[in-house]
Structure 1
Protein backbone atom coordinates (compact mmCIF):
# COMPACT_ATOMS: atom_id res chain seq x y z
CA UNK A 1 0.00 0.00 0.00
CA UNK A 2 1.27 3.53 -0.84
CA UNK A 3 2.65 5.36 2.20
CA UNK A 4 0.15 8.22 1.85
CA UNK A 5 -2.72 5.76 1.47
CA UNK A 6 -1.55 3.83 4.56
CA UNK A 7 -1.31 7.06 6.56
CA UNK A 8 -4.80 8.13 5.51
CA UNK A 9 -6.18 4.67 6.37
CA UNK A 10 -4.48 4.74 9.76
CA UNK A 11 -5.76 8.24 10.48
CA UNK A 12 -9.28 7.26 9.45
CA UNK A 13 -9.19 4.18 11.70
CA UNK A 14 -7.92 6.27 14.61
CA UNK A 15 -10.68 8.82 14.07
CA UNK A 16 -13.35 6.12 13.93
CA UNK A 17 -11.93 4.49 17.07
CA UNK A 18 -11.77 7.76 18.99
CA UNK A 19 -15.29 8.69 17.92
CA UNK A 20 -16.50 5.23 18.97
CA UNK A 21 -14.80 5.53 22.35
CA UNK A 22 -16.15 9.02 22.83
CA UNK A 23 -19.68 7.76 22.26
CA UNK A 24 -19.32 4.48 24.19
CA UNK A 25 -22.02 4.04 26.79
CA UNK A 26 -20.68 4.54 30.30
CA UNK A 27 -22.15 2.82 33.35
CA UNK A 28 -21.12 4.03 36.79
CA UNK A 29 -20.41 1.22 39.23
CA UNK A 30 -20.28 1.73 42.98
CA UNK A 31 -18.50 -0.60 45.40
CA UNK A 32 -17.25 -0.51 48.97
CA UNK A 33 -13.58 -1.23 48.41
CA UNK A 34 -13.06 -2.74 51.87
CA UNK A 35 -14.13 -6.39 51.58
CA UNK A 36 -11.20 -8.39 50.21
CA UNK A 37 -11.02 -10.55 48.18
CA UNK A 38 -14.35 -9.41 46.75
CA UNK A 39 -13.64 -5.69 46.53
CA UNK A 40 -10.69 -3.69 47.84
CA UNK A 41 -8.47 -0.75 46.98
CA UNK A 42 -4.95 -1.75 45.89
CA UNK A 43 -1.75 0.08 46.78
CA UNK A 44 -1.99 1.86 43.43
CA UNK A 45 -5.44 3.19 44.37
CA UNK A 46 -7.35 1.00 41.91
CA UNK A 47 -10.38 -1.03 42.95
CA UNK A 48 -9.76 -4.75 42.55
CA UNK A 49 -11.26 -8.08 43.54
CA UNK A 50 -13.79 -10.71 42.50
CA UNK A 51 -16.73 -8.26 42.33
CA UNK A 52 -14.71 -5.93 40.13
CA UNK A 53 -13.55 -8.66 37.74
CA UNK A 54 -17.06 -10.11 37.36
CA UNK A 55 -18.67 -6.73 36.67
CA UNK A 56 -15.86 -5.75 34.31
CA UNK A 57 -16.59 -8.94 32.35
CA UNK A 58 -20.30 -8.04 32.35
CA UNK A 59 -19.47 -4.56 31.03
CA UNK A 60 -17.29 -6.07 28.30
CA UNK A 61 -20.12 -8.39 27.29
CA UNK A 62 -22.51 -5.41 27.17
CA UNK A 63 -19.88 -3.37 25.26
CA UNK A 64 -20.05 -0.51 27.74
CA UNK A 65 -17.44 1.32 29.77
CA UNK A 66 -17.29 0.76 33.54
CA UNK A 67 -16.56 3.79 35.72
CA UNK A 68 -15.83 2.80 39.33
CA UNK A 69 -16.25 4.67 42.61
CA UNK A 70 -16.07 3.63 46.27
CA UNK A 71 -18.60 4.40 49.02
CA UNK A 72 -18.99 3.69 52.73
CA UNK A 73 -21.01 0.55 53.36
CA UNK A 74 -23.49 2.22 55.69
CA UNK A 75 -24.61 4.70 53.04
CA UNK A 76 -24.16 2.66 49.89
CA UNK A 77 -27.88 2.06 49.18
CA UNK A 78 -28.77 5.75 49.73
CA UNK A 79 -25.87 6.68 47.42
CA UNK A 80 -27.23 4.38 44.70
CA UNK A 81 -30.74 5.79 45.04
CA UNK A 82 -29.36 9.34 45.04
CA UNK A 83 -27.89 8.70 41.59
CA UNK A 84 -24.21 8.75 42.56
CA UNK A 85 -23.74 5.57 40.52
CA UNK A 86 -25.91 3.20 38.48
CA UNK A 87 -25.04 -0.30 39.69
CA UNK A 88 -23.85 -1.44 43.10
CA UNK A 89 -21.27 -4.25 43.04
CA UNK A 90 -20.40 -4.82 46.67
CA UNK A 91 -21.19 -8.47 47.52
CA UNK A 92 -24.51 -7.40 49.00
CA UNK A 93 -26.72 -10.23 50.23
CA UNK A 94 -30.18 -10.18 48.69
CA UNK A 95 -32.76 -9.84 51.45
CA UNK A 96 -36.46 -9.01 51.55
CA UNK A 97 -35.78 -5.79 53.47
CA UNK A 98 -33.26 -4.59 50.88
CA UNK A 99 -35.54 -5.56 48.00
CA UNK A 100 -37.98 -2.95 49.27
CA UNK A 101 -35.36 -0.27 48.53
CA UNK A 102 -33.52 -1.54 45.43
CA UNK A 103 -33.76 -4.16 42.71
CA UNK A 104 -31.20 -6.95 42.47
CA UNK A 105 -29.65 -8.96 39.68
CA UNK A 106 -29.80 -12.72 39.73
CA UNK A 107 -27.34 -14.03 42.36
CA UNK A 108 -23.72 -14.10 41.19
CA UNK A 109 -22.47 -16.17 44.12
CA UNK A 110 -23.69 -17.83 47.32
CA UNK A 111 -21.94 -17.40 50.68
CA UNK A 112 -22.70 -20.79 52.15
CA UNK A 113 -21.84 -22.41 55.46
CA UNK A 114 -19.99 -25.69 55.62
CA UNK A 115 -18.31 -28.00 58.10
CA UNK A 116 -14.57 -28.60 58.12
CA UNK A 117 -13.37 -31.68 60.01
CA UNK A 118 -10.14 -33.30 61.11
CA UNK A 119 -9.10 -35.68 58.33
CA UNK A 120 -8.22 -38.37 60.86
CA UNK A 121 -11.91 -38.74 61.75
CA UNK A 122 -12.68 -40.08 58.29
CA UNK A 123 -16.07 -38.38 58.18
CA UNK A 124 -18.04 -38.54 54.93
CA UNK A 125 -21.13 -36.65 56.09
CA UNK A 126 -22.10 -34.02 58.63
CA UNK A 127 -25.52 -34.75 60.08
CA UNK A 128 -26.76 -34.47 63.68
CA UNK A 129 -26.52 -38.27 63.89
CA UNK A 130 -22.99 -38.61 62.44
CA UNK A 131 -21.67 -35.81 64.66
CA UNK A 132 -23.31 -37.05 67.87
CA UNK A 133 -20.89 -36.50 70.78
CA UNK A 134 -18.30 -34.63 68.72
CA UNK A 135 -16.90 -31.21 69.60
CA UNK A 136 -17.80 -28.48 67.10
CA UNK A 137 -16.42 -24.96 67.22
CA UNK A 138 -17.44 -21.65 65.71
CA UNK A 139 -17.44 -17.93 66.50
CA UNK A 140 -19.64 -16.60 69.28
CA UNK A 141 -22.62 -14.64 67.99
CA UNK A 142 -22.39 -16.07 64.48
CA UNK A 143 -25.28 -17.57 62.50
CA UNK A 144 -23.27 -20.81 62.49
CA UNK A 145 -23.55 -20.90 66.28
CA UNK A 146 -27.31 -20.61 66.02
CA UNK A 147 -27.44 -23.50 63.55
CA UNK A 148 -25.35 -25.68 65.86
CA UNK A 149 -27.44 -24.92 68.92
CA UNK A 150 -30.73 -25.54 67.10
CA UNK A 151 -29.81 -28.67 65.12
CA UNK A 152 -26.77 -30.30 66.77
CA UNK A 153 -27.87 -30.47 70.41
CA UNK A 154 -26.15 -33.84 70.93
CA UNK A 155 -22.78 -32.39 69.98
CA UNK A 156 -20.60 -30.26 72.26
CA UNK A 157 -20.61 -26.72 70.84
CA UNK A 158 -17.63 -24.51 71.67
CA UNK A 159 -17.97 -20.79 70.95
CA UNK A 160 -14.93 -18.57 70.47
CA UNK A 161 -14.57 -14.76 70.55
CA UNK A 162 -12.58 -14.96 67.30
CA UNK A 163 -12.96 -17.51 64.52
CA UNK A 164 -9.19 -17.89 64.26
CA UNK A 165 -9.18 -19.36 67.76
CA UNK A 166 -11.57 -22.10 66.66
CA UNK A 167 -9.31 -22.90 63.71
CA UNK A 168 -6.25 -23.10 65.98
CA UNK A 169 -8.06 -25.47 68.35
CA UNK A 170 -9.03 -27.74 65.45
CA UNK A 171 -5.42 -27.80 64.20
CA UNK A 172 -4.42 -28.82 67.74
CA UNK A 173 -7.12 -31.50 67.89
CA UNK A 174 -9.09 -29.82 70.68
CA UNK A 175 -12.21 -29.63 68.49
CA UNK A 176 -13.32 -32.13 65.88
CA UNK A 177 -15.05 -29.78 63.45
CA UNK A 178 -15.68 -26.12 62.74
CA UNK A 179 -18.81 -24.73 61.10
CA UNK A 180 -18.49 -21.39 59.31
CA UNK A 181 -18.68 -19.56 55.99
CA UNK A 182 -17.08 -21.63 53.24
CA UNK A 183 -15.09 -18.55 52.21
CA UNK A 184 -13.61 -18.11 55.70
CA UNK A 185 -12.67 -21.79 55.94
CA UNK A 186 -11.30 -21.78 52.39
CA UNK A 187 -9.07 -18.77 53.15
CA UNK A 188 -7.76 -20.54 56.25
CA UNK A 189 -7.03 -23.77 54.35
CA UNK A 190 -5.33 -21.82 51.56
CA UNK A 191 -2.59 -20.85 54.03
CA UNK A 192 -1.21 -24.40 53.88
CA UNK A 193 -3.37 -26.02 56.57
CA UNK A 194 -3.34 -29.80 56.06
CA UNK A 195 -5.16 -31.11 59.14
CA UNK A 196 -8.67 -30.72 57.90
CA UNK A 197 -11.01 -30.84 54.96
CA UNK A 198 -14.58 -29.90 54.03
CA UNK A 199 -17.18 -32.50 54.94
CA UNK A 200 -20.92 -32.76 54.36
CA UNK A 201 -23.12 -30.50 52.27
CA UNK A 202 -22.92 -26.74 52.14
CA UNK A 203 -26.09 -24.81 52.98
CA UNK A 204 -27.73 -21.41 53.39
CA UNK A 205 -29.96 -20.03 56.10
CA UNK A 206 -33.59 -20.08 55.04
CA UNK A 207 -34.51 -16.86 53.26
CA UNK A 208 -30.95 -16.14 52.07
CA UNK A 209 -30.85 -15.57 48.32
CA UNK A 210 -27.17 -15.10 47.57
CA UNK A 211 -25.25 -11.96 46.63
CA UNK A 212 -26.53 -9.68 43.88
CA UNK A 213 -25.79 -6.47 42.00
CA UNK A 214 -28.18 -3.69 42.99
CA UNK A 215 -30.09 -1.15 40.88
CA UNK A 216 -32.49 1.71 41.47
CA UNK A 217 -36.10 0.58 41.37
CA UNK A 218 -36.82 2.30 38.06
CA UNK A 219 -33.74 0.95 36.26
CA UNK A 220 -35.42 -2.29 35.18
CA UNK A 221 -33.99 -2.12 31.63
CA UNK A 222 -30.42 -1.93 32.95
CA UNK A 223 -31.19 -4.72 35.40
CA UNK A 224 -32.40 -6.95 32.53
CA UNK A 225 -29.33 -6.20 30.40
CA UNK A 226 -26.97 -7.00 33.27
CA UNK A 227 -28.80 -10.26 34.00
CA UNK A 228 -28.49 -11.25 30.34
CA UNK A 229 -24.75 -10.47 30.30
CA UNK A 230 -24.24 -12.33 33.60
CA UNK A 231 -25.94 -15.42 32.16
CA UNK A 232 -23.70 -15.20 29.08
CA UNK A 233 -20.41 -15.06 30.99
CA UNK A 234 -21.56 -18.00 33.11
CA UNK A 235 -22.42 -20.02 30.00
CA UNK A 236 -19.25 -19.21 28.03
CA UNK A 237 -16.84 -20.02 30.87
CA UNK A 238 -15.69 -16.47 31.63
CA UNK A 239 -17.29 -16.53 35.07
CA UNK A 240 -15.58 -19.77 36.07
CA UNK A 241 -12.20 -18.55 34.80
CA UNK A 242 -12.53 -15.48 37.04
CA UNK A 243 -13.82 -17.53 39.99
CA UNK A 244 -10.82 -19.86 39.81
CA UNK A 245 -8.44 -16.92 40.35
CA UNK A 246 -9.95 -16.37 43.80
CA UNK A 247 -11.56 -19.61 44.99
CA UNK A 248 -10.71 -23.29 44.56
CA UNK A 249 -14.36 -24.33 44.91
CA UNK A 250 -17.71 -23.64 43.25
CA UNK A 251 -19.55 -20.57 44.58
CA UNK A 252 -22.37 -20.35 42.04
CA UNK A 253 -24.36 -23.57 42.37
CA UNK A 254 -27.69 -23.23 44.18
CA UNK A 255 -27.15 -24.85 47.62
CA UNK A 256 -29.74 -26.33 49.94
CA UNK A 257 -31.28 -24.49 52.87
CA UNK A 258 -30.85 -25.44 56.52
CA UNK A 259 -34.46 -26.65 56.74
CA UNK A 260 -33.92 -28.97 53.75
CA UNK A 261 -30.98 -30.65 55.44
CA UNK A 262 -31.90 -30.62 59.11
CA UNK A 263 -35.62 -29.81 59.27
CA UNK A 264 -37.32 -26.79 60.81
Structure 2
Protein backbone atom coordinates (compact mmCIF):
# COMPACT_ATOMS: atom_id res chain seq x y z
CA UNK A 1 0.00 0.00 0.00
CA UNK A 2 2.80 2.40 0.95
CA UNK A 3 4.61 1.72 -2.33
CA UNK A 4 1.39 2.22 -4.25
CA UNK A 5 0.73 5.54 -2.54
CA UNK A 6 4.34 6.58 -3.02
CA UNK A 7 4.20 5.71 -6.70
CA UNK A 8 0.92 7.59 -7.07
CA UNK A 9 2.44 10.59 -5.30
CA UNK A 10 5.47 10.56 -7.58
CA UNK A 11 3.19 10.27 -10.60
CA UNK A 12 1.08 13.25 -9.49
CA UNK A 13 4.22 15.27 -8.74
CA UNK A 14 5.63 14.45 -12.17
CA UNK A 15 2.38 15.42 -13.86
CA UNK A 16 2.30 18.68 -11.90
CA UNK A 17 5.89 19.46 -12.87
CA UNK A 18 5.13 18.62 -16.49
CA UNK A 19 2.06 20.86 -16.46
CA UNK A 20 4.11 23.66 -14.91
CA UNK A 21 6.76 23.29 -17.60
CA UNK A 22 4.10 23.34 -20.29
CA UNK A 23 2.51 26.45 -18.78
CA UNK A 24 5.81 28.29 -19.11
CA UNK A 25 5.81 27.44 -22.80
CA UNK A 26 2.72 29.60 -23.33
CA UNK A 27 2.49 33.35 -22.75
CA UNK A 28 -0.53 35.61 -23.17
CA UNK A 29 0.35 39.14 -24.25
CA UNK A 30 -1.95 42.17 -24.35
CA UNK A 31 -1.83 45.11 -26.75
CA UNK A 32 -4.24 47.98 -27.30
CA UNK A 33 -5.07 47.84 -31.00
CA UNK A 34 -5.64 51.60 -31.36
CA UNK A 35 -2.17 53.13 -31.65
CA UNK A 36 -0.97 52.84 -35.26
CA UNK A 37 1.60 52.06 -36.52
CA UNK A 38 2.57 50.36 -33.26
CA UNK A 39 -0.65 48.44 -32.71
CA UNK A 40 -3.94 48.49 -34.59
CA UNK A 41 -6.77 46.28 -35.83
CA UNK A 42 -6.72 45.36 -39.52
CA UNK A 43 -9.75 44.88 -41.79
CA UNK A 44 -10.15 41.35 -40.42
CA UNK A 45 -10.18 42.67 -36.83
CA UNK A 46 -6.76 41.15 -36.21
CA UNK A 47 -4.00 42.87 -34.24
CA UNK A 48 -1.16 44.21 -36.39
CA UNK A 49 1.71 46.67 -36.08
CA UNK A 50 5.25 47.15 -34.84
CA UNK A 51 4.41 46.05 -31.28
CA UNK A 52 2.77 42.88 -32.55
CA UNK A 53 5.67 41.96 -34.83
CA UNK A 54 8.14 42.59 -32.01
CA UNK A 55 6.09 40.46 -29.61
CA UNK A 56 5.98 37.57 -32.08
CA UNK A 57 9.73 37.83 -32.74
CA UNK A 58 10.47 37.77 -29.01
CA UNK A 59 8.24 34.74 -28.51
CA UNK A 60 10.06 32.94 -31.31
CA UNK A 61 13.41 33.68 -29.66
CA UNK A 62 12.12 32.46 -26.30
CA UNK A 63 10.68 29.37 -28.01
CA UNK A 64 7.29 29.85 -26.44
CA UNK A 65 3.80 29.90 -27.87
CA UNK A 66 2.24 33.35 -27.56
CA UNK A 67 -1.35 34.47 -27.77
CA UNK A 68 -1.84 38.20 -28.30
CA UNK A 69 -5.12 39.75 -27.15
CA UNK A 70 -6.62 43.24 -27.44
CA UNK A 71 -7.29 45.27 -24.30
CA UNK A 72 -8.58 48.83 -23.89
CA UNK A 73 -5.83 51.15 -22.67
CA UNK A 74 -7.50 52.34 -19.46
CA UNK A 75 -7.85 48.77 -18.20
CA UNK A 76 -4.59 47.38 -19.50
CA UNK A 77 -2.58 47.54 -16.24
CA UNK A 78 -5.42 46.43 -13.93
CA UNK A 79 -6.01 43.37 -16.15
CA UNK A 80 -2.29 42.50 -16.02
CA UNK A 81 -2.38 42.66 -12.22
CA UNK A 82 -5.53 40.51 -12.27
CA UNK A 83 -3.51 37.90 -14.23
CA UNK A 84 -5.70 37.99 -17.33
CA UNK A 85 -2.44 37.92 -19.31
CA UNK A 86 1.29 37.75 -18.64
CA UNK A 87 2.72 40.84 -20.35
CA UNK A 88 1.83 44.06 -22.15
CA UNK A 89 3.46 44.96 -25.47
CA UNK A 90 1.65 48.18 -26.29
CA UNK A 91 4.16 51.04 -26.55
CA UNK A 92 3.94 51.63 -22.82
CA UNK A 93 6.37 54.26 -21.57
CA UNK A 94 8.56 53.20 -18.66
CA UNK A 95 7.81 55.61 -15.80
CA UNK A 96 8.54 55.67 -12.07
CA UNK A 97 4.83 56.05 -11.35
CA UNK A 98 3.98 52.86 -13.24
CA UNK A 99 6.88 51.04 -11.56
CA UNK A 100 5.01 51.38 -8.28
CA UNK A 101 2.52 48.81 -9.62
CA UNK A 102 4.34 46.82 -12.28
CA UNK A 103 7.80 46.06 -13.65
CA UNK A 104 9.31 46.63 -17.08
CA UNK A 105 11.82 44.95 -19.33
CA UNK A 106 14.63 46.85 -20.99
CA UNK A 107 13.45 49.28 -23.67
CA UNK A 108 12.53 48.08 -27.13
CA UNK A 109 12.25 51.58 -28.60
CA UNK A 110 12.46 55.25 -27.65
CA UNK A 111 10.55 58.31 -28.81
CA UNK A 112 10.07 62.00 -28.01
CA UNK A 113 6.68 63.62 -27.57
CA UNK A 114 5.61 65.83 -30.46
CA UNK A 115 2.77 68.18 -31.28
CA UNK A 116 0.53 68.22 -34.35
CA UNK A 117 -1.54 71.27 -35.32
CA UNK A 118 -3.79 72.34 -38.23
CA UNK A 119 -1.83 73.51 -41.26
CA UNK A 120 -3.06 77.10 -40.81
CA UNK A 121 -2.35 77.17 -37.06
CA UNK A 122 -0.85 80.37 -35.61
CA UNK A 123 0.96 78.35 -32.91
CA UNK A 124 4.67 78.89 -33.50
CA UNK A 125 6.35 76.23 -31.36
CA UNK A 126 5.80 73.50 -28.75
CA UNK A 127 6.66 75.57 -25.68
CA UNK A 128 4.15 75.91 -22.87
CA UNK A 129 3.85 79.66 -23.45
CA UNK A 130 2.71 79.05 -27.03
CA UNK A 131 -0.16 76.85 -25.82
CA UNK A 132 -1.73 79.48 -23.56
CA UNK A 133 -5.45 79.73 -24.32
CA UNK A 134 -5.33 76.75 -26.70
CA UNK A 135 -7.15 73.41 -26.53
CA UNK A 136 -4.69 70.52 -26.47
CA UNK A 137 -5.71 66.88 -26.89
CA UNK A 138 -3.98 63.69 -25.73
CA UNK A 139 -4.79 60.07 -24.99
CA UNK A 140 -5.74 59.52 -21.35
CA UNK A 141 -3.52 57.60 -18.90
CA UNK A 142 -0.38 58.33 -20.92
CA UNK A 143 2.77 60.39 -20.49
CA UNK A 144 1.44 62.83 -23.10
CA UNK A 145 -1.74 63.27 -21.06
CA UNK A 146 0.36 64.16 -18.03
CA UNK A 147 2.34 66.65 -20.10
CA UNK A 148 -0.80 68.20 -21.58
CA UNK A 149 -2.38 68.64 -18.15
CA UNK A 150 0.61 69.53 -16.01
CA UNK A 151 2.81 71.54 -18.38
CA UNK A 152 0.45 72.99 -20.97
CA UNK A 153 -2.46 73.15 -18.54
CA UNK A 154 -0.52 75.16 -15.97
CA UNK A 155 0.48 77.58 -18.73
CA UNK A 156 -3.18 78.30 -19.50
CA UNK A 157 -4.05 75.63 -22.07
CA UNK A 158 -7.21 73.54 -21.88
CA UNK A 159 -6.26 69.85 -21.87
CA UNK A 160 -8.79 67.43 -23.34
CA UNK A 161 -8.21 63.70 -22.86
CA UNK A 162 -9.47 60.86 -25.05
CA UNK A 163 -9.76 57.07 -24.67
CA UNK A 164 -7.64 56.56 -27.82
CA UNK A 165 -5.16 58.59 -29.86
CA UNK A 166 -7.33 58.10 -32.95
CA UNK A 167 -10.12 60.08 -31.27
CA UNK A 168 -7.75 62.92 -30.39
CA UNK A 169 -6.49 63.00 -33.97
CA UNK A 170 -10.05 63.03 -35.32
CA UNK A 171 -10.96 66.06 -33.21
CA UNK A 172 -7.81 67.84 -34.37
CA UNK A 173 -8.72 67.13 -38.00
CA UNK A 174 -12.29 68.35 -37.45
CA UNK A 175 -11.23 71.63 -35.87
CA UNK A 176 -12.26 70.79 -32.32
CA UNK A 177 -8.68 71.02 -31.03
CA UNK A 178 -5.87 73.49 -31.53
CA UNK A 179 -3.16 70.87 -30.99
CA UNK A 180 -2.59 67.19 -30.25
CA UNK A 181 0.28 65.72 -28.22
CA UNK A 182 1.52 62.16 -28.81
CA UNK A 183 4.57 60.02 -29.45
CA UNK A 184 6.33 61.47 -32.48
CA UNK A 185 6.21 58.29 -34.55
CA UNK A 186 2.45 57.94 -34.06
CA UNK A 187 1.84 61.50 -35.25
CA UNK A 188 4.23 61.07 -38.20
CA UNK A 189 2.30 57.98 -39.32
CA UNK A 190 -1.06 59.74 -38.99
CA UNK A 191 0.18 62.80 -40.89
CA UNK A 192 1.33 60.56 -43.74
CA UNK A 193 -2.16 59.08 -44.03
CA UNK A 194 -5.46 60.30 -42.56
CA UNK A 195 -4.07 63.62 -41.34
CA UNK A 196 -2.06 64.61 -44.40
CA UNK A 197 -4.58 67.14 -45.75
CA UNK A 198 -5.50 68.88 -42.51
CA UNK A 199 -2.52 69.01 -40.25
CA UNK A 200 1.23 69.26 -39.81
CA UNK A 201 3.90 68.35 -37.28
CA UNK A 202 4.72 71.43 -35.22
CA UNK A 203 7.80 69.84 -33.67
CA UNK A 204 9.23 67.75 -30.84
CA UNK A 205 8.83 68.75 -27.21
CA UNK A 206 12.30 69.31 -25.82
CA UNK A 207 13.41 66.97 -23.05
CA UNK A 208 10.58 64.44 -23.44
CA UNK A 209 12.33 61.48 -25.07
CA UNK A 210 11.13 58.35 -23.29
CA UNK A 211 11.55 54.59 -23.54
CA UNK A 212 8.90 51.95 -24.20
CA UNK A 213 9.21 48.61 -22.44
CA UNK A 214 7.26 45.41 -21.97
CA UNK A 215 5.16 45.55 -18.82
CA UNK A 216 5.03 42.51 -16.53
CA UNK A 217 4.06 41.77 -12.94
CA UNK A 218 6.76 42.46 -10.36
CA UNK A 219 6.94 38.85 -9.23
CA UNK A 220 7.61 37.50 -12.74
CA UNK A 221 11.37 38.00 -12.60
CA UNK A 222 12.19 34.93 -14.71
CA UNK A 223 9.89 36.13 -17.49
CA UNK A 224 11.54 39.56 -17.37
CA UNK A 225 14.98 37.98 -17.82
CA UNK A 226 13.75 35.94 -20.77
CA UNK A 227 12.25 38.99 -22.46
CA UNK A 228 15.43 41.01 -21.89
CA UNK A 229 17.59 38.30 -23.44
CA UNK A 230 15.22 38.00 -26.39
CA UNK A 231 15.29 41.78 -26.97
CA UNK A 232 19.10 41.69 -27.08
CA UNK A 233 18.99 38.70 -29.44
CA UNK A 234 16.64 40.25 -32.01
CA UNK A 235 18.70 43.46 -32.02
CA UNK A 236 21.94 41.50 -32.46
CA UNK A 237 20.77 39.19 -35.26
CA UNK A 238 19.08 41.87 -37.40
CA UNK A 239 15.48 40.81 -36.74
CA UNK A 240 14.73 44.11 -35.04
CA UNK A 241 15.99 46.14 -38.03
CA UNK A 242 13.84 44.12 -40.44
CA UNK A 243 10.72 44.77 -38.37
CA UNK A 244 11.63 48.44 -37.92
CA UNK A 245 12.05 48.88 -41.70
CA UNK A 246 8.42 47.80 -42.26
CA UNK A 247 7.15 50.81 -40.34
CA UNK A 248 9.85 53.48 -40.11
CA UNK A 249 12.50 55.04 -42.31
CA UNK A 250 14.68 55.86 -39.31
CA UNK A 251 16.11 54.16 -36.23
CA UNK A 252 13.84 54.09 -33.19
CA UNK A 253 15.92 51.81 -30.97
TM range (shorter): 0.5 to 0.7
The answer (yes or no) to whether the contact 2:87–2:215 under 8 Å persists in 1 is: yes
User: Superposition pairs for residues 106-185 of structure 1, below 5 Å?
Assistant: 106-114=106-114, 139=137, 143=147, 180-181=181-182, 182-185=184-187
Query: Residue 34 of structure 2 aligns with which residue?
Result: 35
Of the structure 1 ranges 82-91 and 136-145, higher mean CA displacement relative to structure 2 is found in 136-145
The answer (yes or no) to whether the contact 1:138–1:163 under 8 Å persists in 2 is: no
Query: Residue 3 of structure 2 aligns with which residue?
Result: none
Deviation at 1:55, TM superposition (A): 0.9
Gaps of 5+ in 2: 1-20, 119-124, 162-167
The answer (yes or no) to whether the contact 1:110–1:211 under 8 Å persists in 2 is: yes
Query: Residue 260 of structure 1 aligns with which residue?
Result: none
Aligned-partner Cα distance in 1 for 2:68–2:185: 25
The answer (yes or no) to whether the contact 1:31–1:89 under 8 Å persists in 2 is: yes
Query: Residue 188 of structure 2 aligns with which residue?
Result: 186
Could you state the TM-score of these two structures normalised by the residue count of structure 1?
0.59
The answer (yes or no) to whether the contact 1:54–1:242 under 8 Å persists in 2 is: yes
Deviation at 1:82, TM superposition (A): 2.9
User: Superposition pairs for residues 1-264 of structure 1, below 5 Å?
Assistant: 26-37=25-36, 38-114=38-114, 139=137, 143=147, 180-181=181-182, 182-191=184-193, 193=196, 203-205=206-208, 209-252=210-253
Could you state the TM-score of these two structures normalised by the residue count of structure 2?
0.61
Aligned-partner Cα distance in 2 for 1:238–1:23: 27
The answer (yes or no) to whether the contact 2:107–2:212 under 8 Å persists in 1 is: yes
Aligned-partner Cα distance in 1 for 2:93–2:30: 14
Gaps of 5+ in 1: 1-21, 119-125, 170-174, 253-264
Aligned-partner Cα distance in 1 for 2:241–2:152: 32
Aligned-partner Cα distance in 2 for 1:115–1:41: 24
Deviation at 1:179, TM superposition (A): 7.6
2:40 match: secondary structure: strand
Root mean square deviation of aligned Cα? 4.5
Deviation at 1:159, TM superposition (A): 9.1
Per-residue Cα deviation, 1:218-240 (whole angstroms, up to 9, x for no partner): 11111011011112212322212
Change in Cα spacing, 1:195 to 1:29, as seen in structure 2 (3 Å) is same
**Equivalent residues, number:** 216
Change in Cα spacing, 1:144 to 1:236, as seen in structure 2 (3 Å) is farther
Query: Is the radius of gyration larger for structure 1 or structure 2?
Result: 1
Aligned-partner Cα distance in 1 for 2:87–2:244: 21
Aligned-partner Cα distance in 2 for 1:224–1:23: 18
Deviation at 1:45, TM superposition (A): 4.2
The answer (yes or no) to whether the contact 1:24–1:64 under 8 Å persists in 2 is: no
Change in Cα spacing, 1:251 to 1:30, as seen in structure 2 (3 Å) is same
Aligned-partner Cα distance in 1 for 2:74–2:117: 36
Change in Cα spacing, 1:200 to 1:163, as seen in structure 2 (3 Å) is closer
Change in Cα spacing, 1:30 to 1:159, as seen in structure 2 (3 Å) is closer
